[in-house]
Amino acid sequence: MSLRLCLLACLVAAACATKDELKPTNWLSTTELENVPSLNDITFERLESMPLDKGAKLMEKLYHIASIKHDLSPNFVPSASNIPVWIIKSNGDRMEAKLNNYVDKVTALPGFGEDEVTIVLTGLPQNSPATQKALRKLEQAYKQRYNVQNQQKNSHNSRQQMNKDYVSTSSEETSEEWKSAKTTAGNLIIIDLGSTFTSFKRFALLDVAGTGSMIGHTLVDLTKKDVPREIIHLVGQGIAAHVAGAAGQEFTLHTGNKLRRITGLDPAKMISKPREQLVGLSRGNADFVDVIHTSSLAMGTPMRCGDVDFYPNGVNQAVPGAENVIEAANRATRYFAETVRPGGERNFPAVVANSLKQYKEKNGFGMRAYMGINADYDLQGDYILEVNEKSPFGKRASAQKQNHYHGSHQRN
């Protein structure tokens, strides 16, 4: 049975069940229920220190109990003046702003909006080593992507300058392929929503719709200042992937048009959500929505969220090499960063499949596409791939000759 059909069957079964059948005591023992900590007792540090399987089970229990009891209402919307925004200038320097004033600051920069605009929404606080590293890798990758033209003119000097900017810690960063990579110009903006999650409870009770609406209005303001919607790429991590979806909806509501692309990096399970409102990332939030799931049965959701959903190593608690749920959630960002870095765009070949078993039965052959920055906008359906435990994570391989790689997995 396909992943989509399995999930649909589960939803139908849940909808048909009686209230008694849905009681938590019918699928969790009394001891297990008593041992589920309250939101006030859970911290990101605690989750990062837990073994992977234990942390994943805790997140599953929290999610299912909240879904059945409906006793948690999303009520946290951070103030726009408290959300930090980092504007990465063309020379690589950072300029600080806030959500309520970043539009004026970026549109005042010379040449802003003439090239690709990438806006990243962080979804976890930066006090986690794994989270810090993932965002640093993504920022470094975009710096290389958007400054590769200058770097290629003088590879020796540019390499020295890059080494001043950061310490290379992964083999994908030391690859020489960037020297002959295709050039791209653009602008990077990081909206650090994750920094407002000063507690796990704030993360769990985030009002996705309200926060997304607030961010969506800033995107409307960007386009009013002559930034074409077609060049805006919104990237959301974890719970911020759903915020990105809500921002896309708000943008469409006010403009009648869609953003060109939204990328979800391990969209999180939403522990709190309104009863009578569908929220969260989904196809239709932009012209093209692509998603990478790396902790489907832990902090992330296994549910399809985009036009195309990539499942590295299938639907699991975590991808290979991740030791806890926080690290597993951040792997999607690491994978995407690897494809953003010039020369790494095709590091993650994937094929149409509904499970890792089906993928392995085909020996990785079939209609092939590439996960990450170069995902084809015509892709639809579920794609499976295998990844390495350590960086570089992509199992790069030559694409098989084919006439049409996305036509065999259309949506119903």
Residue 15: inside a domain: no
Distance CA 197, CA 206 (A): 9
Residue 128: inside a domain: yes
Show the tokens assigned to 116. Answer: 């690709």
Confidence of residue 41 (pLDDT cuts 50, 70, 90): very high
Residue 30: inside a domain: no
Give the mean pLDDT of 221-235: 97
DSSP, collapsed to helix, strand or coil, labels residue 390 as coil
Residue 37: inside a domain: no
Confidence of residue 175 (pLDDT cuts 50, 70, 90): low
DSSP, collapsed to helix, strand or coil, labels residue 286 as strand
Distance CA 336, CA 137 (A): 10
Distance CA 182, CA 146 (A): 11
Show the tokens assigned to 326. Answer: 């926080």
Omega cis (within 30) before 312: no
Structure confidence at residue 8 (pLDDT): 41
Check: CB of residue 99 under 8 Å from CB of residue 17.
no
Q: State the DSSP string of 196-220.
A: G--SHHHHHTB-HHHHHHHHHHHHH
Give the mean pLDDT of 369-382: 96
Structure confidence at residue 318 (pLDDT): 94
328 or 10: whose pLDDT is higher?
Answer: 328
Residue 87: inside a domain: yes
Distance CA 340, CA 338 (A): 6
Q: One-letter amino acid identity for 235? A: V
Structure confidence at residue 184 (pLDDT): 74
Distance CA 188, CA 186 (A): 7
Structure confidence at residue 69 (pLDDT): 79
Confidence of residue 29 (pLDDT cuts 50, 70, 90): low
Per DSSP, 254 falls in state: H
Confidence of residue 5 (pLDDT cuts 50, 70, 90): very low
Query: Which residue in the block uniquely carries the two structure tokens 């005042």?
Result: 108
Residue 47: inside a domain: no
Residue 167: inside a domain: yes
Residue 94: inside a domain: yes
Distance CA 293, CA 318 (A): 9
DSSP, collapsed to helix, strand or coil, labels residue 376 as coil
Beta bridge partners of 130: none
In the predicted structure, residue 142 carries a pLDDT above the cut 80: yes
Confidence of residue 64 (pLDDT cuts 50, 70, 90): confident
Write b or e for each residue in 339-371: b if 16 or more Cβ atoms lie within 10 A of its Cβ, otherwise e. Answer: bbbbbbbbbbbbbbbbbbebbeeeebebbbbbb
Instruction: For residue 258, give the CATH number of its domain.
Output: 3.40.50.1820
Structural domain total, the chain: 1
Structure confidence at residue 13 (pLDDT): 45
DSSP, collapsed to helix, strand or coil, labels residue 222 as helix
- pLDDT tens digits, residue range 243-294? 999 999 999 999 999 999 999 999 999 999 887 677 899 999 999 999 999 9
Domain that holds residue 326: 80-385
Prediction pTM value = 0.85
- pLDDT tens digits, residue range 187-206? 999 999 999 999 999 999 99
- pLDDT tens digits, residue range 282-338? 999 999 999 999 999 999 999 999 999 999 999 999 999 999 999 999 999 999 999
Can you state the angle between helices 325-340 and 52-69, rounded to 10 degrees?
100
Report which of 343, 336, 337, 339 is spatially closest to residue 152, judged by C-alpha positions: 343
Report which of 257, 270, 207, 265 is spatially closest to residue 75, judged by C-alpha positions: 207
Structure confidence at residue 159 (pLDDT): 46
Let me know if 284 is exposed, middle or buried by CB neighbors in 10 A (0-12, 13-18, 19+).
middle
Give the mean pLDDT of 40-48: 95
Structure confidence at residue 91 (pLDDT): 77
Structure confidence at residue 30 (pLDDT): 52
Nearest 10 degrees: CA dihedral of 354, 359, 362, 368? 80
Q: What percent of the chain has pLDDT over 90?
A: 67
Q: One-letter amino acid identity for 236? A: G
Structure confidence at residue 35 (pLDDT): 65
Distance CA 237, CA 272 (A): 17
Give the Å distances, CA to CA, from 122 to 58, 195, 210, 267, 300: 23, 8, 16, 11, 15
Check: CB of residue 131 under 8 Å from CB of residue 326.
yes
Q: Kindly report the three-state secondary structure assignment for every residue of 92-126.
A: CCEEEEECCCHHHHHHCCCCCCCCEEEEEECCCCC
Check: CB of residue 344 under 8 Å from CB of residue 373.
no
Which helix or strand (DSSP H or E) is residue 153 part of? helix 129-153
